[in-house]
Amino acid sequence: MHGGAARRPLVELRGVDLAYGEGEQGMLALKGVDLTIGRGEFAALVGPSGCGKSTTLKLVSGLRLPNAGGVTVAGREVDRPLKIVGMAFQAPALLPWRSTLANVLLPLEIVEPHCRTFKRDLPRHRERAMALFEKVGLRGVADRYPWQLSGGMQQRVSLCRALIHEPDLLLLDEPFGALDAFTREDLWDTLKALWTERRFTVVLVTHDLTEATYLADTVHVFSQRPGRIIYSRRIPAECRRTRQDRFTARFADEVAGLRERVGHAQEHA
């Protein structure tokens, strides 16, 4: 089954190969990847280490171009880095000499077309950042520096920075991987609330099958390298409404089913 096929697709990969390096020195990271993600969908990419999940995000964002096949976002072929995406990674990568607010406003300050009117629009941007802070539980931190914040707070700031320009597409590469379990689970709910309200499209790379099952509409499992998608599973809505849903037999079955597929991919290297 291919999740999102029923909705208007926002992201499409068709027969995509991607190699790092050239000729005999080259290494094929992805081979024949087909993936469709519907507008407003929350997709998770899981699979064995090194199977090409992060590489897939690089292709979607235009940081890498495929050696074969095509990548389209919103119906247009991706042939250069996209400006309509927000991105967040495992390391929050905040600039230590900038306040929290200045970190969050950075994309608006440097990326076209926002940078042209940044000064003029600053009051509006500030207001939007404050509303985001409020939403993600970061009240009162605007003037603090990143090094004055906990790891979980820094990751919340990174999420705000990824969302400040109201992107249609949010790409997340293990954003919760380095956090303790309690903070991670709080952030799941923060992200879920933001997504439920705004319905941007999300592509989340994660090793955590509980996280994938709780957050995503559709989970895609990659094979061992060279990666391709070997299984796509639409997660029933009743598994991921509230945090209590994570403690149900239904949820456990979903996670177990995915674990089996990932295990199978690992065995068939």
Stretch that binds ligand ATP, among 53-61, 176-184, 245-253, 255-263 (CB under 6 A): 53-61
CA-CA-CA-CA torsion sign (62, 60, 55, 226): negative
CA distance 156 to 138: 8
29 binds ligand ATP (CB under 6 A): yes
DSSP assignment string, 16-52: EEEEESSGGG-EEEEEEEEEEEETT-EEEEE-STTSS
Stretch that binds ligand ATP, among 31-39, 51-59, 98-106, 192-200 (CB under 6 A): 51-59
Please calculate the CA angle 202-205-208 and round it to the nearest 5 degrees. Answer: 115
Taking alpha carbons only, the member of 105, 177, 170 closest to residue 142 is: 105
20 binds ligand ATP (CB under 6 A): yes
Instruction: Please give the distance of CA 253 from its chain centroid, rounded to a whole number.
Output: 24
52 binds ligand ATP (CB under 6 A): yes
**Measured from the CB atom, is 55 or 154 closer to ligand ATP?**
55
What's the closest the beta carbon of residue 30 comes to ligand ATP, in angstroms? Answer: 8
Pick from 1, 22, 25, 49 the residue near ligand ATP by CB under 6 A: 49
The one-letter amino acid code at 134 reads E
225 binds ligand ATP (CB under 6 A): yes
The one-letter amino acid code at 155 reads Q
Return the residues of window 125-184 that contact ligand ATP according to CB under 6 A: none
Return the residues of window 54-73 that contact ligand ATP according to CB under 6 A: 54-55
Residues that bind ligand ATP (CB under 6 A): 20, 27, 29, 49-55, 225
